[in-house]
Amino acid sequence: MSDTAPTEELVITRVFDAPRELVYRAFTEPDQLAAWFGPIGWSVPRDSVSIDVRVGGHQKFTMVNDANPDMNSPVTATFTEVVPNELLAGGEDVEHIPGLGGAKSFSLRLEFHDEGGKTRLVLRQGPYTAEMESQARVGWTESFTKLDTLLAA
């Protein structure tokens, strides 16, 4: 029998070809977040997004399956650390993510580093089981591909 206790931390480092102020805004402005967030086949309706970027503030939105809008996944995050254009950190409650079961709580830390006009983003999220970590990695990678397209526009 394998141990399925969530112990894995997802860590993704990605360089975006855009200044960190633009990448930070993609996470903190409702119109921006709605334009890119979610893995392929999922989207975030703009009217589901509410963001209050401050310690104690929140980020709320719902991911909706493009093929079956009845499939959706509400996300509610609370910010515990905010440094404009440098850091967003806090807790995140997520419901109904395919393959992850019911409601889950995670920590999320996003660090935005200037790389000479580009941005190195370091994402840390968890805890996950090994299987959940793999699925979350795919979801973030697909989302970041959509973010690349938005930033290039």
Q: Is residue 74 part of a domain?
A: yes
> How many angstroms separate the most distant Cα atoms in the chain?
49
* pLDDT 10s digits, 30-51: 999 999 999 999 999 999 999 9
The CATH number assigned to the domain holding 134 equals 3.30.530.20
* pLDDT 10s digits, 79-136: 999 999 999 999 998 765 555 555 578 899 999 999 999 999 999 999 888 888 888 8
Q: Is residue 1 part of a domain?
A: no
Q: How many domains are there within the chain?
A: 1
Q: Is residue 106 part of a domain?
A: yes
Candidates 104, 106, 103, 141; CA nearest to 126 is 106
Plot region of 101 (φ>0 → left; ψ -120 to 50 → alpha; else → beta): left
Q: Structural domain of residue 122, as residue ranges? A: 8-152
Question: Cα separations (Å) of 90 from 19, 58, 59, 76, 79?
Answer: 23, 9, 10, 10, 4
Q: Is residue 3 part of a domain?
A: no
Bridge partners for 22 per DSSP: none
